[in-house]
Amino acid sequence: MTRIEHRPDHDLLCVEGEVDMASVPLLDKALHDAFTSEDSTGLLVVDLTDVGFLGSVGLRSLVIAREHAAETGRRLVVITPESSAVRRAINITGLDQTLVLAADLQEVCRP
C-alpha cells in the first residue's frame, strides 16, 4: 500500500489502493516513518495518484501530517490528479485551502 523513497531534494511517499478505516494505520505509520527518518529532507511529497478512494480517516491523516510538518519546519505536498476522486474529496471538504496540492511530481519539482 505504501512505499517511501528518499531522494536528494525530497522524500516521496507513494500510496496505492484505498485509504479507509482498515488501511489508514499503514498510512499513518508511513507518514510517521517519513517524518522521523534520519534520511528525511525538508520536503515530504505524498503521491496519491494510485489511490482510488480516500475516506475521512485518510483526509484526517493528511491534516495531521500537514500540522506536523508545519510544527517541525518542514513542507508537505500532496500529489493528486486534478480530475481524480481523491482531489474531489479534498476540494469538497475545503482541504484544498490548507493542503499544498500538485497534479504530478513534475509540478512539485519545477524550480
pTM (2 d.p.): 0.94
3-state SS record for the chain: CEEEEECCCCEEEEEEEEECCCCHHHHHHHHHHHHHCCCCCCEEEEEEEEEEEECHHHHHHHHHHHHHHHHCCCEEEEECCCCCHHHHHHHHCCHHHCCEEECCHHHHHCC
Q: Is residue 6 pLDDT above 90, yes or no? A: no
The CATH number assigned to the domain with range 2-109 reads 3.30.750.24
pLDDT at 111 over 80: no
53-90 pLDDT, tens digit per residue, is 999 999 999 999 999 999 989 999 999 999 999 999 99
Task: Evaluate if residue 39 carries a pLDDT over 90.
Answer: no
